[in-house]
Amino acid sequence: MTYDELVQAARLRARKTKANALDEDIKTYIDFVLSDLQRVGVPESRLQEPDDPIIINAILTYVRAFYPLDSNHDRWMAAYDRIMVKVKDKVRKWKEAEAGT
């Protein structure tokens, strides 16, 4: 999924159907998640055009937590945290596969 496709998918997840100035805000959230994923060890090559459903869902869930910023924010952030646990597990498996174990 290209960056532009991520932006479009995030816009849909946020129930925001039209492109406008708020897309820059969505891009900021996407960039944050990409950085967070890199921080926990996801290889850069998997982030340039992510195709893993867990990575994509992490991005879309984080964006949804902020659009609209409502009483469900904490639930969406908790969902993001749960997804990140799965991402960390996947990173461990990727590293094991690379090491040949």
Mean of the per-residue pLDDT values of the chain: 92
Number of domains in the chain: 1
| Domain extent for 31 | 3-99
State the Cα–Cα distance between residues 92 and 77, nearest whole angstrom.
Answer: 23
pLDDT value at residue 30: 96
Counting other chains too, the contacts that 30-37 makes at CB distance below 8 Å and 24 or more residues apart are: 30/3, 30/6, 30/59, 30/63, 32/62, 33/58, 33/59, 33/62, 33/63, 34/59, 36/84, 37/87
At 21, list the tokens. 């100035």
Please give the model's pTM, rounded to 2 decimal places.
0.89
The per-residue pLDDT for range 7-38, each reduced to its tens digit, is 999 999 988 878 788 889 999 999 999 999 99
